[in-house]
Amino acid sequence: MIDRVNQALRRLPEWPLYPLGLVPAGWLLWLGLNGGLGVEPIEALEHELGVIALQFLIATLLVTPLRRYAGLNLLRFRRAFGLLGFTYVCLHLLTWLALDMSFLWAQIAGDIVERPYITIGMAAFLMLVPLAATSTKSAIRRMGPRWHRLHRLSYLAVVLGGLHFVMQEKVWSVQSLVYLGLAIGVVALRWLWLRPRVA
């Protein structure tokens, strides 16, 4: 059964994932313009974009464990998952900078320094920037083994993203704790897979 699924997946192109993955962003924009995001639309937009970003980033790290432990090969879609995750992180950040903070840079800098959850979120974003910048095939060939070492930053970035989600809530929700647990769990699975190779 799993072999048939993998054969079907190999026939699917990667490119449709990008427009499909951006559909939720378009839907959220439509809701925001039409009053469908509640009484705090900016906060709701930030939240939803951040959750989708975390979903894509967790999915990116799940590709290897799924292949290793379940035999499901989604490797060809991993880059799309990662880039879509980074895109939603950028949209989440841009919403905060433009709509929430109105590009008041002094206040933004103060919040980054003084609010730990924002500090952690910015750290995760900065870790993802070089990963997105080196996601092309030419960069992978040029960097060789260094690419794999650099992209291990994604493990820490995803855990920090989950921690950022939990810490930004005044009262911790089941949803945020589940995402943090998933982030830690998938990184643990990846680490178990890497340990024999590192040794």
Q: Is the confidence at residue 192, as pLDDT, over 90?
A: no
Q: Considering the entire predicted model, what is its pTM?
A: 0.93
Radius of gyration from C-alpha coordinates of the chain? 18
Neighbouring C-beta atoms of residue 19, cutoff 10 Å: 9
pLDDT interval class at 196 (50, 70, 90): low
The structure tokens 């900065």 sit at 126
Tell me how far apart the alpha carbons of residues 149 and 114 are, in angstroms, rounded to a whole number: 31
Domain that holds residue 153: 2-198
Q: How high is the pLDDT of residue 199?
A: 37
Q: How many CB atoms lie within 10 A of CB 138?
A: 8
Report the greatest alpha carbon distance in the chain: 57
Total number of domains constituting the chain? 1
| Tens-digit pLDDT profile for residues 126-161 | 999 999 999 988 988 898 888 888 888 999 999 999
